[in-house]
Chains A and B, each alone.
Chain A
Amino acid sequence: MRAEEVAGKLREALGPKALRLETPTERRVFLTVAVEDLEDAVRAVLGLSREARFMTISAVDEGLDLELLYHVDVGGTVVTVRIKVPKEEMEVLDISHLAPAAEFIEREIRDLFGLEFVGLKPEKLYTPEGYEEKPLKKPMEGALPPQARPMAEALMGSACSVSVSRAVMRKRQDLGLPAMPPMAMAKPEALEEVRSLAEEVGFTERAGYDLEKKRLRYR
């Protein structure tokens, strides 16, 4: 089965759950889904053909997220289901009930990265009992160097690079100036514009800025 055909069938089966479908070559398909849609995605891929065969899972520590790549051979075309598990959660569904061979690699990933597979049997595979280090897990770090983090949070939080104190606002009034200058921070809709622009240019994702919590995901 060729990549385009596979992609078409997956698009049909998963609908909007298929966040991204790429076919870089005739025999390669990448399917990106949300963590909660993993089971549906793997089921759809395995259901493409009776010859579909689970191969393995690759884990990549990206600093803030753990990327998991589930590789399945579908009649000579390799389909990879890609998910990103935020390190704040570090939990994903075990798929060994769909593909029993996944159990070994899931246990290995758990031993080396500390990722929990919900439903997976607790025995270790790779590291000795009593050894609790996760040797391949990197520190929770994003792209911004420490010096740039306060600036990034200030920009996203108030669109201003300095903090505002009541004393300065009083001083401004003493000088006959408006307590608050006409900056974006004085208008919620202007601040929202700034966050939209940051999201639009991909800054929030690149920098690891959580728009809901209004802070970077790391210190």
Chain B
Amino acid sequence: MSPEKTRKTEESVDEAALTTTQYLVETAKQLQTEVEALKSEIRKARNPTSTKIGIIFLVPGVLSLVFSIFYNSQVLAFIGLGLTFWGALFFLVKPVRYVKGSLLDSAAFASYSTIDRIIKDLKYKGKSYYLPPYPKDAYLPEYLRGLKDMIVFISADSGPSMPSIEEMAKSKFFLENPKGISAVPPGLGLLAQFEKELGADITKVEMTELCEILPRIILENFHLAKEVQMKLEENQIYLKTVDSIDKELYAAAENLRSVYLLGSPLVSAIACAIAKNTGKIVTIRQIKVSPDAETIEAWYNFIEG
């Protein structure tokens, strides 16, 4: 190899090395910036604004109280008391962790989609029946323990027959007599939250009272809708929600049948609550959705078990 060629090769190798080094330096810088950004995000998450405001109030408050004792000043004492109290209050009433409401739809969508596929695959044309569970404190033999779980039975045809106690107790997914599937209601988790907020067993509340309490919990405690109306009518319960958090499930492009069959998580939670409260089988007779999915109306019927 001639010396000139060797030099050229060496130069090209150097250039390549330089480019690689430059690229690596750039990447390292970029990563460092990202790390810094992430660190500041973590810091922000750890110290929310209310904590900062709390410190801003608390420090001069305590100082003012101390000086009020030294200078025997009532004005300083009042200022100190006020600032200290509000500072402590800001620490106490920190914002609760909120997540975007659309996450509920996204999380629930997969479950509804799966149920939809199962229903389509098995060619089921029936209805959904919310079966009340046995009270948690009731004694049941080991082989009947499955009856303490709340289930929703989706029948294969529109016949009114219900699965036998033995079959329900087995906690099976596919039921044979009558044909259908028994699933966990999509609103069961929400119902558990409602009960936790209520601080009492839902079975111990009167139905008329429940129609007043549930909308209040949904609106004031969980902000799941802008307006909720629940009315006890003759052998049925009427529910109306305006701008509910899971309305997008009804407006989904895939037109999920299971959402109309089982109800959205909110509608399903109320069906579970009614079934648990009355001890009767509850079915969703009809769900009416306005064209913009703002208003959702549901009618629940009781079936004597």
A, B assembled together: no
Binding site for B on A (CB under 8 A): none
